Structure 1
Amino acid sequence: MSHVIEIEKAKVEQFSARIMEDYGNTLRGAMLYIGDQLGLFKALADGEWVTLEELAQKTGYNPRYLREWLGSMATGNYVSYDPPSKRYRLPPEFVPVLADEDSPYFAGGIIQLSVPFVSMAPRVIEAFRNGGGCPEEAFPLETWEGMERMTMPWYKHYLVQHWIPSLDGVKAKLETGGSVLDFGCGSGLAAITIAQAFPEARVFGCDFHGPSIERARANAEAAGVGDRVRFEVSDSDALVGQKFDFVTTFVVIHDATDPQQMMADLRQSTADDGTYLMVELNLSEELHENMNLFGRVMYPQSTLYCMTCSLSHGGAGIGAFMGENRARRMAEAAGFKRFRKVPSDKPALPALFELRP
Structure 2
Amino acid sequence: MDDTTVSPLLPSIETGSDQDIRLSGTWITQHVPTLEKCIGQWLSRKTAPGNLIVDFSAVQRMDTAGALLFLRMEKHLLEQGFSLERNGVSPAAASILKAVEPHAQISPGLSPRLPLWERILNRAAAIALEFLSSLRDLTAFTGLITQTLIMALLNPRRLRFNAILTQVQKTGASALPIVGLISFLIGIVLAFQGAGQLRNFGAEIFTVNLVAIGVLREMGILLTAIVVAGRSGSAFTAEIGTMKVSEEIDAMQTIGLNPIEVLALPRIIGLLIALPLLTFYADMMGLLGGAMISFATLGITPLQFIETLHGAAGLNDFFVGIIKAPVFAFIIAMVGCHEGFKVSRSAESVGQQTTRAVVESIFIVIVLDALLSILFSALGI
TM above 0.5, yes or no, is no
Alignment TM-score, normalising by the size of structure 2: 0.21
From the CA coordinates, give the structure whose radius of gyration is larger.
2
Tell me which protein shows more strand as a share of its residues: 1
User: When you count helix as a share of all residues, which structure comes out higher?
Assistant: 2
Q: Which has the higher contact order (CA 8 A, sep 6+)?
A: 2
TM-score norm. by structure 1 comes to 0.22
